[in-house]
Amino acid sequence: MSRFELFSPEGLRVDGRRYNELRAFDCSINTHPHSSDGSAYISQGNTKVLCLIRGPSDTLTTTSGATASSADEPTISVSIIQPPYATTERKSTSRTDRRMAELSIIIKRALQQCIVKKNYSRTLIEVSITILQLDGSLLPACINAATLALIDAGISMYDYISACNVALYDTFPLVDSNSLEENDLSFLTIGIIGNGDKINLLLMEDKVPLDKLQKLIDLGITGCHNIRQLMDNVVREIGIDLLSKKL
């Protein structure tokens, strides 16, 4: 199928990982303190995403057009920007691209479930995501970045929402897929709020036999929990640092 061996008989993937190994995960929050209320940068392997949050702010004072929010919950707007330099192919994606539009709706809906809505009546929360570099696992990286940025903005959430991709190679699920794997294999995006087994987000676009689904979901959930733990560690570290500077 491909001249790369995506999963060797020894159990190694193209980049030398095991099936259940995440890529190098790094994140930081409060990267843009002046231009946003909350900001986060995340890198999962070569996928690098930046998320800025403005809000919660008065719906009236913003200029972003029609926002007739319902009375008792915040309006969340998500915009995703993928500059041409994000991929090896210098292709600019327009703002009206249906795929991007779908992605932003999905992210919006996932966040909606996670934010304590009743605390933010009549407000607007603007989430803008910039994809700096893309190497697979796009949606998970966006969601993870958005979670961290929301936390940085001090917005009440029921729990972290973490997401990760799982690709299927023959009968082997591969966690946190990169673009090489995603090009050739079917993959599934899974998003979890908190540490439970309940699925908030499930997205799959390619063919997978029905009986393989369970394996993918199971590994995906584990991956999400791990990512949540990694993010939590960073948030805690920063918290301890801040605490030392308090009076």
Partner 1 sequence: MSIISITTPVSKNSEIENFSKDDEDESMYDDAIDGVLKKPEKKYIGIDNRSIVTPGELITEDATWMRGHGTYYLDEHTYSSVAGMISKVNKLLSVTPFKGRYRPETGDHIVGRVIGISNKRWKVELGAEHAGVLMLGAVNLPGGVLRRKSDNDELQMRAILKEGDLLNCEVQSTFSDGSASLHTRSLKYGKLRNGMFLKVNSSLIVRTKNHMHDLPGGVSIILGVNGYCWIFKTKNNVENKINAATGKAESEMKAASSSKGYSVGMGSLSITRLEEESSWEIYSDKNDIISANIKETISRYRSCLVALSFCEIAIDVKRLVKAYEISLGYGDVNSLVSEDIKKSIGEDLINSEKMRG
Partner 2 sequence: MPHIDNTLPIPNIITLHSLLSGNPPLRPSLRQLTEPRPLEISIASSTEYGHIEVKLGETYVSCKVSAQITSPYEDRPFEGTFAIGTEITPMCSPAFTSGVNADFSTAAPAIVPATAISVNNIDSNKEGQTSATAATNNINNNNNNNNNDNAVTMGGGAVMGLAADQAATEILLSRLIEKAVRRSNALDLESLCIIAGQKCWAVRADVRFLNYDGNLVDAASVAVITALLHYRKPDVEVIGSGEGSELVMYDEKQREMVPLSVLHIPICVTFQFFSTESVERNIKGENANSLVNNKNYIKENSDNDDDDLERMDIDNDAPRGSNEIIIVDATAEEELLSQGSMTVTLNSNKELCQISKSGGLNVDSVRILECCQIASDIVNKWTKEIKKVLAADIEKRRDLRAERVLSVVNDRSTE
Give residues 163-192 in contact with partner 2 (rule: CB under 8 A). Answer: 188, 192
Q: For residues 55-74, which are near partner 2 according to CB under 8 A?
A: 64-68, 70, 72-73
Phi-psi region of 9 (alpha: psi -120 to 50; beta: other; left: phi over 0): alpha
Site for partner 2 in 199-228 (CB under 8 A): 199-211, 213-214, 217-218, 221
92 touches which of partner 2, partner 1, none (CB within 5 to 8 A by kind)?
Answer: none
Check if the beta carbon of residue 147 is closer than 8 Å to that of residue 160.
yes
User: How many angstroms separate the CA atoms of 241 and 247, rounded?
Assistant: 13
**First CA to last CA distance, the chain:** 62
Asked whether position 219 contacts partner 1 by CB under 8 A, the answer is yes
Task: Calculate the alpha carbon distances from 96 to 101, 103, 106, 124 in Å.
Answer: 7, 12, 15, 22
Mask for 58-87, x = binds partner 1 (CB under 8 A): x-xx--------------------------
156 binds, among partner 1, partner 2, none (CB under 5 to 8 A by kind): partner 1
- From the CB of residue 218, how many other CB atoms can be counted at a distance below 10 Å? 14
Instruction: Report the nearest approach of partner 2 to the CB of residue 72 (Å).
Output: 7
User: Can you tell me which of 12, 101, 180, 238 binds partner 2, judged by CB under 8 A?
Assistant: 101
Minimum Å gap between C-beta 213 and partner 2 is 6
- H/E stretch holding 58 reads strand 47-58
Nearest to partner 1 of 98, 210 (CB atom): 210
